[in-house]
Structure 1
Amino acid sequence: MPKETRSFAVLGLGGFGSTVALELARFGNRVIGADLDERKVSRMVPHLHSAIILDATDEAAMREAGIDRYDVALVAIGRDIKASILATMNLRLLGVGTIWSKASDRTHHRILSKLGADRVILPEQEMGRHSAQMLHNPAVQDYVSLGNGFSVVNIIVPEKLDGEAVSALAIGSEHDIRLLGIMRGTEYLEGVGEETLLEQGDKLIMLGRRADLRQFGRRL
């Protein structure tokens, strides 16, 4: 298998799991999707490298299906907390290198973390925070949390800054943030400097602490 691709096993093909599996496959990765529901599996067959009916709580069945040969596994099992826990345990026993698991609440999150999941996701809460950031500041189009209070955000250049130089943003003098780059439409601008002229609608790719980024966004 080419080194630039990775292999992923997605266990649970509900709304969340199927979306992740399809996106990973779209990026050119080798993806196997597994679920107990035959209908969910059938829907994924044309789109994934493999889609199988599988009981993720059965370690022997997981091994027979070759789940241990995948680089990364995502436990996307929905409301069945017991099945989610057992699936995560089985992946650890199988020696899968990287395990992500979906949690339904904070208690479930703590259990999965203790079992050795490399990352535990609370999709509704994470999407809630994501939406709140954008609702709070309409200039913020998207953001990614990096942990320790740092985020990367896309901030749209407003009409009042059209034609102004990057220096007008006063990034270094007034705000403890960094400009990583500028997207203009579908083009990434190379060699952005203090004299680069901004255009309305440009996306500023900014790195900094959330409070500093919010303050910067409000000033724009």
Structure 2
Amino acid sequence: MDFTILTDYFGDYMEGFRGTLLSSLLALVGSFALGALIAVFRIGPLRALRWLGTGYVEFIRNIPLLLVVYVFYYGPAAFGIPLDGFTAGTIGLAVYTSSFIAEAIRAGIMAIPKGQTEAARSSGLTYGQTMVHIILPQAIRLVIPPLGNQFINLIKNSSVLTIVAGLDLMYFADIVNSDTFRTFDTYIFVALFYLVLTLPLSYGVRVWERRLQRKY
């Protein structure tokens, strides 16, 4: 392996690393918030919201991530609101991941005894307050492992940004490869940068899960 590629193009790799990290963090926050909202819709008392939540999950989960990114990259431009590759890719990544997070959180909500919801409502809490203060905190604790897996998948899926020039790791790796023509070495170093992001997250999820188990 030619380590001079890493040293000579370290600035490019770091630029891509920062882009991937920022996109992943923004998409993580967005997908979690949207996923939690959709999960509440899916088990809510209003039939229209249940249909909306179910339709959203079934539609988004069953189309390719690349197509979702293309929708946000080319769609707004057709209405005179062009988005750069980074923005469109990050939004697409958040929307796509939120459908999987919604299902994980919904499973956690369904595992909470219904008596807790009934007790909270009888105490005067609204449905929204019951979800935010009583049900969701417990549900999220139950589904930390699948949520952690989805967040790791999100980081790896961020490589789709390169298709729309999203300034991520893969985008800059393509530039390095076009200069060096050392394809194997170039992308092995990219894999190492992805491991720098995913391995600590995987370890952190396991530690968090163990702490919560001891606490509760």
Place the TM-score, normalised by the shorter chain, in its bin. under 0.3
> If the length of structure 2 is used for normalisation, what is the TM-score?
0.24
Q: Using CA pairs under 8 Å that are at least 6 residues apart, name the structure with larger relative contact order, 1 or 2.
A: 2
The structure in which a higher percent of residues are strand is 1
> If the length of structure 1 is used for normalisation, what is the TM-score?
0.24
For the pair shown, the structure with the greater C-alpha radius of gyration is: 1
The structure in which a higher percent of residues are helix is 2
